[in-house]
Structure 1
Amino acid sequence: MPISERASKRALGKRAVALVAAVSSVVLLAAGAPAASPHRSGDWATWSKDAAGSRYAAAEWRITPRNVHNLKVKWAFAFPESSAPVRSQPAVVDGVAYFGGPDGRFYARDAGTGAERWTTDLSGVVPGARPSIPWDSPSVSGGRVYFGDLRGFVYSLDQGTGRVVWAKQVDAHPAATVTSSPIVHDGKVYVGTSSGENANNSPDGSTDDPNYPCCTFRGHVDALDARTGGLVWRHYTVPEPRAVGTWPSGATRYEPSGAGVWSSPVVDPHSGTVYVGTGQNYTGSAGDFDTMLALDHRTGAVKWRNQVTKADTWRGLCNSPDPEGYCPGLKDGSALDYDIGATPNLFTVGGRRLVGVGQKLGVYHVFDAATGEVVWRRQLGVPLPSGGISGIQWGTSFDGRRLYIATYFADPGKLFAVDPATGRVLWETPNPADGCTTGGAAAHPEICSLGHGPAVTSSPGVVWEGSNDGKMRAYSARDGRVLWTYDTVRDFTGVNGLPGRGGTISGGGGGAVVADGMVYVQAGYAPDYPNPGGGDVLLAFGL
């Protein structure tokens, strides 16, 4: 075929693809889905796919319900062996996948082949006692890559070279951490800060010390200047902790504290509003804990707040053999821990702008986006004693027609399709019962469970969700049938030459990423399956 003819056919093909994407966009906007981002339609540039938190790959036309069963691993990337779990969901932009590793490095790899573009070692950027582990998903915007780390820093890297443009510590507390994936809008980087101070009774959350004067961390949402990293505004979720007495051990007691911001904010550019959820108190009972916040994107001023749990004071000692005195909300042997750890969804129903969010209690809440008025609520998971691990953990998806919501340790976890107008359950599919008796998980019944930790993702006709049983699954968006299953609990050799093995599909802030005919999945989150001599893996699937 002559070169000119080949070029003509390629151009025709590109025009056809563009037409398909344009038609898809028109249909989605009519159905109430968010408007397109400034990126290519096939890109997945931020944790939630777009500013509205849809986690919906609207332009995906290659992978369909009819051919999804043909997906195969195209390449694997194996991380060096590490005690930290993998949790940095990739961003995929202009044919490059950007992601962090538990080894303290940040990677840019060819999205189709896994070939190296660049690698940045973060360990020497700002030396410190805790490692510089990327702890969330990056956002790619304006030629920069933005992400946070385990020790409370936010970074901006050059998209083309990986050069560190700036690194800013958003919180100097020894236990501060950034699990909130940043979102970029109007020249600002919006990001939340949480901490590990609640996990145990110690400054950095690594040990259990009854003599530690707990607790002093305050959650907050920040707007940083995207160019310089300078702080534009900050909203603290609790008042400044003050000494109010002593613990049973004699250590000083501080209240209130906590209300960390675990998840990524979303932004409505039309109203200029940032929406984000918060976690529970560590001590005391005050502030914006377990709250949906609507903040002015220019100033951080509160437009409205809706607190969905009226008392929720919890930390690791609530699960100790003798928690009395440490957990004032403890009743009948149970405390709460009902964070809003999930990222919200913005959508429109009947001309009314709504914002919805899942809670670890197992409830999905929907509010009027302008006023905060409750529109509907739906209980999808039954809470377990002393910890909301049976509810909705990290995030949900909206495809313009349905909300897709998963529950975690709900015996078993389930995947739901829900009517966005009323909360009516359209279908529900339990984590398949053979999840722990087939594949690599079958050898580890003491580890395996039927729960959905990751955020839910959708693409036209397909819903994507992984499980603690180490399996990634594709479900029919129409009726919830399982269309494809891949067991990741097996050995891989990475394109980087290292051995790796999959495991629990990454929770802790991530889920499947669907971009340009490929699906990207991090495998190896806690609970860990035995993996002697190897690390966790990023898997890239294609047809």
Structure 2
Amino acid sequence: MKHYLLTTLLTLSSLGSMQAAQAVRCSATIDPLQQVLANSLGYNLNNTRQGISAINSGNVSQLELAYVHVAPDPDATERRGAPTLTHQVIYAPTRSSIVALDRATGCEYWNYTIKVGSSIAGGDGFRAMNYVPALGSKPALVVAGDSEGKLHVLNAQTGQLLWQKFVGTDKAYHRITATPQFYQGKLLVGMASREIFTALSKFVMACCESHGLLVSVDAYSGKIDWTYHTTAAAQRLWDLHHGPNGVPVWSTPAIDEASHTVYIGTGQNYSMPITSNSDSIIALDARNGKVKWIFQATANDSYPIACGAPFPLNGPCSPLQSSDFDFGASPIISTTRSGRKVILAGSKNGVVYSLDAVNGQLNWQKRLGAGANLGGIHWGMATDRQRLYVAVSDVMINKMNALSIDQLNTPLHNPASHSGPNGKGMSLAPNGKPGVYALDIENGNLLWEQHPSHVASDGNSYPSAYSAAVAVTNDVVFAGSLNGVMKAFRSTDGRELWSYNTAKPVNGVNGISGNGGTIDQVGAYIGGNNLIINSGYDQFGGTNTLQAGPGNAMYVFRLAGTR
């Protein structure tokens, strides 16, 4: 009883401290014409994730922690969503807020907060954000998509909401996880569907009716220009089953301004029938949404989360049609040494593809990982037009964990399975090769590979899995692993140059205590003299021997002696 009372008092004290905590307000105002250093998950329209910075192999060891920002959401267990970095400001998303922070000091210019939904797989708030510079009399914009399929467009200088709109077609399921890209006055927005999570609640055989989209929206008015549907509308097929469905657009589109082409990656179908553009790279005319070409990497892939449920609740799943090998990583536009424009794409099947940007023909492909439902290649690659840098996780999990229905949470049948609190069933794929790789973009030849390991809390050593997107700047590659460690490698030969463990308690510059955890999704974010790291992720399980688990911290590093 005494222990219970003490715990209660400490908890109330902690909550009181959180509520009383106040971020330091900035005294200056935001320059509406500030230089943009890095924008969107892909950093730019081509999704190269190549940061323009002063960081190189000679000074990366001089990175020092400037401050940590802790998510102000009282129930935040993740720090996901790419920030935007300008010369003056870090625009940072949290679960239910967008915060404008001074890049040098961490003081707060403004905070925009929404009420987050409470659906079973939704309610994770902002995951995708972009910055639109001021154009003539039009103000600079911060654009954010949320887990309920709505766009929020704010004045970047003041944080004032200019407009908000649902831009999907299915309010029950559509969600935005892809960064909206700005092109010729329009926002190109990828749309995914959370019906992959809710199929079980519909007793599976009712699955599924929703599908992915790419929507072109006027950035200043919210008027929808055109919509590309990744499948035809679902029809009742037999009993309660519907289709076609799925083929979500999880990742950020890439845009080639010269040819007015937008490239998207798609996911799998959720149930039968199978379509020809699931698990594909699709080229569309950015002006009207018409298809130019489709390259399908994995055929016959049908997978809802309910596939992780025991028989008979797994419904339409079969061992031959449950790969979950979508393109979660954003496609990259690059140019080879010989002058060929290519699309570089990495799939959760563990394979990297180089495609001709004009016609979608395969130039080369290279298998790096074994492939699994969390990658393979999960969130993203990076290129400096010489080499392509690839993170491989080769981690799989029973995704039923995401539903928190413990009685239906069955571990994967793998003797090497690593389980921990809220992380049941996570394991390395058979013959998995997690690590960081560099390829020659001309021909796909392997140039170097690194396979770090870490010691878990049980005292044993495990391979470190790299699910988060990698990033490159000058001659340095940054890669963050699921166990919460960010490493820097020399781009020419893979030599390790710097390492930092983010999975630890922190005190936020905004007066809130928190902690770091798993590094996933965004990975390293680089610009100017800064390295930014989101730390904390629990979408697919908590702490175990492979991952550090929940967290709510954004680390901001800078080169020593600079501001």
TM-score, normalised to structure 1's length?
Answer: 0.83
- Aligned residue number for residue 366 of structure 1: 354
- The CA distance in 2 between the partners of 1:467 and 1:153, in whole Å, is 31
Determine whether 1:115 maps to 2:107.
yes
- The CA distance in 1 between the partners of 2:42 and 2:78, in whole Å, is 21
The one of 173, 176, 179 equivalent to 1:175 is 173
CA gap of 1:428–1:128, structure 2 versus 1, over 3 A, is closer
Determine whether 1:71 maps to 2:63.
yes
Determine whether 1:320 maps to 2:313.
no
- The CA distance in 2 between the partners of 1:137 and 1:378, in whole Å, is 31
- Aligned residue number for residue 516 of structure 1: 528
Q: Post-superposition shift, 1:85?
A: 2.2
Contact preservation (8 Å) 1:88, 1:135? yes
Determine whether 1:259 maps to 2:247.
yes
Paired letter, 2:315:
Y
Mean Cα deviation higher: 188-197 or 388-397: 388-397
The one of 122, 125, 145 equivalent to 2:142 is 145
Paired letter, 2:156:
Q
CA gap of 1:42–1:241, structure 2 versus 1, over 3 A, is closer
- Partner of 2:307, secondary structure, is helix
The one of 48, 62, 69 equivalent to 2:42 is 48
- The CA distance in 1 between the partners of 2:251 and 2:56, in whole Å, is 30
CA gap of 1:325–1:511, structure 2 versus 1, over 3 A, is closer
- Aligned residue number for residue 496 of structure 2: 482
Determine whether 1:401 maps to 2:386.
yes
CA offsets, 1:135-178, max 9 Å, x none? 22433433001121011111111100111111111223312211
CA gap of 1:105–1:324, structure 2 versus 1, over 3 A, is closer
Contact preservation (8 Å) 2:329, 2:379? yes
- Partner of 2:61, secondary structure, is helix
- The CA distance in 2 between the partners of 1:147 and 1:84, in whole Å, is 20
Paired letter, 1:275:
Y
- The CA distance in 1 between the partners of 2:74 and 2:501, in whole Å, is 20
- Aligned residue number for residue 230 of structure 1: 223
- Partner of 1:199, secondary structure, is helix
- Aligned residue number for residue 26 of structure 1: none
Q: Post-superposition shift, 1:42?
A: 6.5
Alignment gaps of 5+ in structure 1: 1-38, 203-207, 247-251
CA gap of 1:310–1:211, structure 2 versus 1, over 3 A, is closer
- The CA distance in 1 between the partners of 2:314 and 2:542, in whole Å, is 33
Paired letter, 1:536:
N
Q: Post-superposition shift, 1:490?
A: 1.1
CA gap of 1:454–1:145, structure 2 versus 1, over 3 A, is same
Aligned residues: 476
- The CA distance in 1 between the partners of 2:459 and 2:176, in whole Å, is 32
CA offsets, 1:40-85, max 9 Å, x none? 776112221111111101x312x22122122121100011342552
- The CA distance in 2 between the partners of 1:517 and 1:73, in whole Å, is 12
CA offsets, 1:372-427, max 9 Å, x none? 1111111111124xxx3231111111112111011113545211110001000100
Q: Post-superposition shift, 1:324?
A: 8.0
Paired letter, 1:428:
E
1:96-495 counterparts in 2 under 5 A? 96-102=89-95, 104-123=96-115, 131=123, 133-142=125-134, 143-171=140-168, 172-202=170-200, 208-210=201-203, 213-246=206-239, 252-284=240-272, 285-322=274-311, 326-331=315-320, 335-349=322-336, 350-384=338-372, 388-409=373-394, 411-430=432-451, 432-433=452-453, 435=454, 437=455, 442-443=456-457, 450-495=464-509
Contact preservation (8 Å) 1:96, 1:109? yes
Paired letter, 1:464:
F
- Let me know the Cα RMSD of the aligned residues: 2.5
1:74-89 counterparts in 2 under 5 A? 74-79=66-71, 80-82=73-75, 84-89=77-82
Contact preservation (8 Å) 1:311, 1:329? no
- Partner of 1:318, secondary structure, is helix
CA gap of 1:41–1:66, structure 2 versus 1, over 3 A, is farther
- Aligned residue number for residue 7 of structure 1: none
- The CA distance in 2 between the partners of 1:346 and 1:494, in whole Å, is 37
- The CA distance in 2 between the partners of 1:444 and 1:232, in whole Å, is 55
CA gap of 1:186–1:46, structure 2 versus 1, over 3 A, is same
CA gap of 1:446–1:429, structure 2 versus 1, over 3 A, is closer
CA offsets, 1:426-476, max 9 Å, x none? 00111x12x2x1xxxx33779986211211100001001101111111111
Paired letter, 1:540:
V
Q: Post-superposition shift, 1:512?
A: 1.1
Contact preservation (8 Å) 2:34, 2:88? no
- The CA distance in 2 between the partners of 1:495 and 1:476, in whole Å, is 31
Contact preservation (8 Å) 1:136, 1:178? yes
- Partner of 1:372, secondary structure, is coil
